[in-house]
Structure 1
């Protein structure tokens, strides 16, 4: 899976061509899905300019998008990361969504325009990385 963080969601809603190609490629793949932490969607919508349609309206309508909920266990993990200085709630939720779980036993990469927000050990790829060309 590929995790889309707040900055990637904002860029996607604004029409970022490379990200739209990634969504199209994920739709055609039986294995690749795009994971959106709900706190990243919330933050991207809160940051959206008034003239924009808004991320919360645009992103859920896209195919191949799955949402990472904020259940009780994830809330504790996210809150602990925020308390320990790993970033805001949206960044912490993106990190938590990228980490291995019993259901998803490998670490996933985070697509972002803000790699500087993530600590070492978290795999991030810039949304403008030329290796993302399908």
Structure 2
């Protein structure tokens, strides 16, 4: 599972070529899924009107809702000083759960904002080339 944070969503909506290739590859693969935490979608829309509509139009994305237990985790991460609610939701989504037992990778334009131990890849990383 690959998670797109709000900075990656903004870049994707702006036409970032590498990210569009990642989305296209996910569409053709039965195994690779792209997951968007809903608070990242909201933050991208807050910063740039129309971003959410551009993202929602993409067929290969799944959206991670904010349930009660995740909301508590998001609040804890924010309170502990690890960024805003969007970043905290991306972190929470990346962590292992009983239904997704592995930690997941976060694609971001701001890897320096994430705490140690959270797996991130910059959206301009050359390994994202097909």
Normalising TM by the smaller chain, what interval? over 0.9
Describe the SS at the equivalent of 2:121. strand
TM-score if structure 2 supplies the norm length? 0.98
Equivalent residue pairs, number: 130
1:118 matched to which residue of 2? Answer: 114
| CA–CA separation in structure 2 for the residues paired with 1:55 and 1:32 | 23
Q: In the alignment, which of 53, 56, 69 is matched to residue 57 of structure 1?
A: 53
Mapping for residues 85-104 of structure 1, pairs under 5 Å: 85-104=81-100
Q: Which runs of 4+ in 1 moved over 3 A?
A: none
| CA–CA separation in structure 1 for the residues paired with 2:21 and 2:108 | 15
Q: In the TM superposition, what is the alpha-carbon distance from 1:63 to its structure 2 partner? A: 1.4
Structure 2 residue ranges without an equivalent (≥5): none
Q: In the TM superposition, what is the alpha-carbon distance from 1:59 to its structure 2 partner? A: 0.5
| CA–CA separation in structure 2 for the residues paired with 1:125 and 1:35 | 15
| CA–CA separation in structure 1 for the residues paired with 2:60 and 2:27 | 5
| CA–CA separation in structure 1 for the residues paired with 2:104 and 2:127 | 16
Q: In the TM superposition, what is the alpha-carbon distance from 1:55 to its structure 2 partner? A: 1.3
Describe the SS at the equivalent of 2:69. helix
1:45 matched to which residue of 2? Answer: 45
1:107 matched to which residue of 2? Answer: 103
| CA–CA separation in structure 1 for the residues paired with 2:42 and 2:113 | 17
The two structures, once aligned, show a CA RMSD in angstroms of: 0.7
Q: In the TM superposition, what is the alpha-carbon distance from 1:7 to its structure 2 partner? A: 0.4
2:23 matched to which residue of 1? Answer: 23
Describe the SS at the equivalent of 1:92. helix
TM-score if structure 1 supplies the norm length? 0.95
| CA–CA separation in structure 2 for the residues paired with 1:39 and 1:74 | 11
